[in-house]
Amino acid sequence: MEDTAIIVMAAGKGKRMKSNSPKILHHLAGKPILSYILKTINKVEAKKRIFVIGYKTEKIKELIGKGEEIEFVEQAEPLGTAHAVLQTKSCLSDFKGDVLILSGDVPLLTVQTLKKLLRSHKLKRYNCTLTSSILEDPRGYGRIIRDEKGRITGIVEEVDLPEEKRGIKEVNGGVYCFNKNDLFRALEKIVPNNQQKEYYLTDTVKILLAEGLEVGSLMVEDPSEIWGINNRVDLAKATERVYQRVSESLMLQGVTIIDPSSTFIEEGVKIGQDTVIYPFSMIQKDTKIGKNCQIGPYSQLINSKIGEGVRVWASIVEESRIGEGAHIGPYAHLRPGSEIKKGVRIGNFVEVKKSTVGEGSKAAHLTYLGDALIGKGVNIGAGTITCNYDGEKKNKTIIEDEVFIGSNNSLVAPVKIGRRAYTGAGSAITEDVPAESLAIARSRQRNIVGWKRKKKEEK
């Protein structure tokens, strides 16, 4: 469909969002609304893709990026949707074909619907084909007006809707396909004789019909596809729908999600068969989870790679890798740059930052491991910390294979603990420990007999 041009209307500020940020840059299920539109239109073959922008244009261009083949047209004054589309006329002066028009605030619109609309428009040779849907509660939407034979006779915005028409439940989906010449001829004829004093794109339909031209429609079966985001209530509703879609898709692929209504998985996440996701878990930003895992309850995974058979219980994992059969949590925190190897146990209230923990090692509780390289079969005692920051730079701690670190140790980096070495409980290790040695670094205990009685007598 290379004889197609796509126009995205994205110039509005979105006053009802009550925000200084453009509406299309607000996040929906982890991604800006605009990202959903970009992903959809990029899957439709088109000769041109044009964004009409007007508010904080640089932020929108920054999000889209230089790699996208997008042309930008600015609508300096917000005079309505028809006025926005009219600004693209010079960009399309040499273009011949059909023009697909949609808004930048309909993130749930699917590429299947767009392709279906284009096919219908070309096959039936309409001058304009629009989308519509049936809503049980059509408030806020323009209504499709039909005659007794079911033919479209116009679109009326709700603000201009007479009382006798308010029972109509077929609404305008806001996505259109026009013959280019018909479109711009009609746009030039529009006058803003409505309550908003704006140039409505929907008036093109009335103009084309008055010329005796044909206007067709495509019924969108899933009304959520045409949901526009006007305020933060709409944003929450659409966010819920995205999470629902993702959960349904994963469950059909063999993933168990105990309670989809309390589970939040973003688009792009991959999860293997027979993995179980427990309630109140968030899985974000292209995280990949292997087969037979158990995630949650109360876990958050961000842009991480999880091997097969892993358990992550009530913990946070950020930009990290977890090997097969590892057990994380509860209440653990893997910060960016952490790599947890096969069979590792990271337990209660353990924080790992930019560290590698070797196969079969364990830090079961109350530990901080930062900028550390830990070998295989290491035991980290409770209350151990790597003192990696000296006030100026981060220093590395190296713990070789099969080391036993006693409880309540402070490992003052840079320091190296040799293979199969031991450290005594309560030690502050400031020097390297040779392999197979025992290091004890603590003051000798002194008991002052009768100290309490003497203090009482002094008072």
CB 40 within 8 A of CB 31: no
Sign of CA dihedral 72, 73, 77, 78: negative
Spatial separation of the C-alpha atoms in residues 228 and 210, rounded to whole Å: 29
CB 295 within 8 A of CB 304: no
Tokens 């713990």 sit at which residue? 399
3-state DSSP percent of the chain in helix, strand and coil, to 5 = 20, 30, 45
Largest CA distance in the chain: 110
Q: Which two tokens stand for residue 432?
A: 């390297």
> Choosing from 121, 327, 333, 365, which is the catalytic residue?
365
CB 335 within 8 A of CB 354: yes
Spatial separation of the C-alpha atoms in residues 44 and 1, rounded to whole Å: 8
Question: Of 241, 286, 246, whose CA–CA distance to 265 is shortest?
Answer: 246
Q: 10 Å Cβ neighbour count for 209?
A: 17
Spatial separation of the C-alpha atoms in residues 442 and 191, rounded to whole Å: 87
Which DSSP string corresponds to 143-164?
EEEE-TTS-EEEEE-GGG--GG
Told to judge if 365 belongs to the known catalytic residues of this protein, a careful annotator would answer: yes
Question: Which residues have a Cβ under 8 Å from the Cβ of 162 and sit 6 or more positions away?
Answer: 156
Active site residues: 365
